Amino acid sequence: MSERDLLMIPGPIQFDPAVLRALSAPTLSHTSPEFIEIFGAALTDVRKVFLSDDGQPFVIGATGTFALELAIANLVEPGDSVLVVNTGVFSSRFAKIAGLQGAEVTELTAPVGDAPTLEAVEAALKQKQYKAVTITQVDTSTGVLADVKGIAALARKYGALSIVDGVCATAGEEFRQSVWGVDACVTASQKAIGVPPGLALAVFSKQAIAAFEARKSPVRSYYADFGEWLPIMRAYEDRKPAYFGTPPVNMIYGLRESLRQILAEGMEARFARQVKTAAAFRAAWRALGLKVVPARESITAHTLSAVLFPAGVDASLVVKVKAEGVILAGGLHPANRAAYFRVGHMGTCNAGDILTTIGAVERALLAAGYKFDVGAGLAAAQRPLVG
Ligand code: PMP
């Protein structure tokens, strides 16, 4: 990979230079007043990015998978029932983790590229009492966008906690934790949050914390236990020293800078920019005669595109695009992974990156012998980017 290559996979993304510079500042003591101030402010900003009024933020050195485990291990007890709304490979992780935590798991599935309907979710919730419903806001394996607002409302109606995987969504896709009544939203640093891999982020509602406090059995994980982490997160926000596991000090510098940038842009402006970015890519795929994995526009993610190879073109297209200086990802879902490629377009992704990517895909399609009107994708992408 050349340092001039453009990284357009669905995480890690291309990071802002100021975030990368922040990482390299001298490492402070994790209990120094200077670091406590940085971490405390970052926690408060996490709450703002999730549009939560009074939720409890967590930032822990770990990956997104741990963030899923953090939610399940603390909110679900052995014997509890968990409903997994499955839209792809990452939804299945929730099922696996909940099963390991001793839960009785029911998975609502749909064909690859589709999502279970709200009617199906409600029918399942009517059948038995679930402790929690898991939702993958964007399943990165399929590019399917779940109706978090609708499913979270149903979960609340039937007395279940809603747990959202926002790893490929938070700080990109519209998400309003308090207004939508979501109990847990978890994410990781390397996607729309805009910080290199290594941080798990989460915000839990008051109801979620109450459910943890009402547990009858101990949390079956040492590193994930709220009993250990809650006093730490509260202490940092109260600007007091505390220790459980050494926080990744330099990563928190990067997070502080990225959250500052996100909030300076503003959440509404950011959601709107994400929609505009997706509109440009969608217009380009259409103009090039390419179809996407998600079954309908209403369930298509804005943070990434999962695009089917046209007839006569195979997965070597991704290698050809790389030769043009843009790094894309292949398919991920075991059912059809050789049939599509994925383009991440969240966070710092700007108009230049969009056009560079579409231009590289066009040149690679040309090299693959695909017949299309050269420049049509680029021309189609321009219009949504104006204004
Ligand atoms: N959930 C989703 C939707 C993801 O896209 C990913 C990572 N691609 C994960 C969970 C797991 O995150 P991590 O790789 O940071 O463990």
pLDDT tens per residue across span 210-244? 999 999 999 999 999 999 999 999 999 999 999 99
- Angstrom distance (rounded) from CA 55 to CA 340: 38
Does 1 have pLDDT greater than 80? no
Question: In the structure, what pLDDT confidence band is assigned to residue 92 with cuts at 50, 70 and 90?
Answer: very high
pLDDT confidence of residue 209 = 98
Question: What is the average pLDDT value for the chain, to the nearest integer?
Answer: 98
Mutational test site, ligand 1, from 59, 60, 65, max ligand atoms within 8 Å of CB:
65
pLDDT confidence of residue 132 = 98
CA of 375 to the centre of ligand 1 (A): 34
Question: In the structure, what pLDDT confidence band is assigned to residue 158 with cuts at 50, 70 and 90?
Answer: very high
Question: In the structure, what pLDDT confidence band is assigned to residue 111 with cuts at 50, 70 and 90?
Answer: very high
pLDDT confidence of residue 233 = 98
pLDDT confidence of residue 12 = 98
Identify the residues whose C-beta falls under 6 Å from ligand 1.
Answer: 11, 63-65, 90, 136, 139-140, 165, 167-168, 188
Which atom of ligand 1 is found nearest the CA of 65?
A: 16
- Angle (CA) 223-197-244 rounded to 5° is 25
pLDDT confidence of residue 283 = 98
Cα 365 versus chain centre, distance? 29
Question: In the structure, what pLDDT confidence band is assigned to residue 2 with cuts at 50, 70 and 90?
Answer: confident
- Angstrom distance (rounded) from CA 177 to CA 164: 10
> Using one digit for the tens of pLDDT, what is the confidence trace for 246-301?
999 999 999 999 999 999 999 999 999 999 999 999 999 999 999 999 999 999 99
> Using one digit for the tens of pLDDT, what is the confidence trace for 159-214?
999 999 999 999 999 999 999 999 999 999 999 999 999 999 999 999 999 999 99
CA of 90 to the centre of ligand 1 (A): 7
Phi and psi at 268, nearest 5°, equal: -65, -45
Residues 6+ apart with CB under 8 A from 325: 2, 4, 5, 6, 356, 360
pLDDT confidence of residue 42 = 98
Which atom of ligand 1 is found nearest the CA of 200?
A: 15
What is the mean predicted confidence (pLDDT) over 316-344? 98
- Angstrom distance (rounded) from CA 258 to CA 247: 17
CA of 140 to the centre of ligand 1 (A): 8
Which atom of ligand 1 is found nearest the CA of 11?
A: 8
Does 50 have pLDDT greater than 80? yes
Question: In the structure, what pLDDT confidence band is assigned to residue 36 with cuts at 50, 70 and 90?
Answer: very high
CA of 303 to the centre of ligand 1 (A): 13
- Angstrom distance (rounded) from CA 116 to CA 108: 6
- Angstrom distance (rounded) from CA 150 to CA 321: 38
- The residue nearest atom 2 of ligand 1, judged by CA position, is 167
Does 387 have pLDDT greater than 80? no
CA of 318 to the centre of ligand 1 (A): 21
Q: Using alpha carbons, select from 187, 183, 198 the residue that is nearest to residue 90.
A: 187
pLDDT confidence of residue 119 = 98
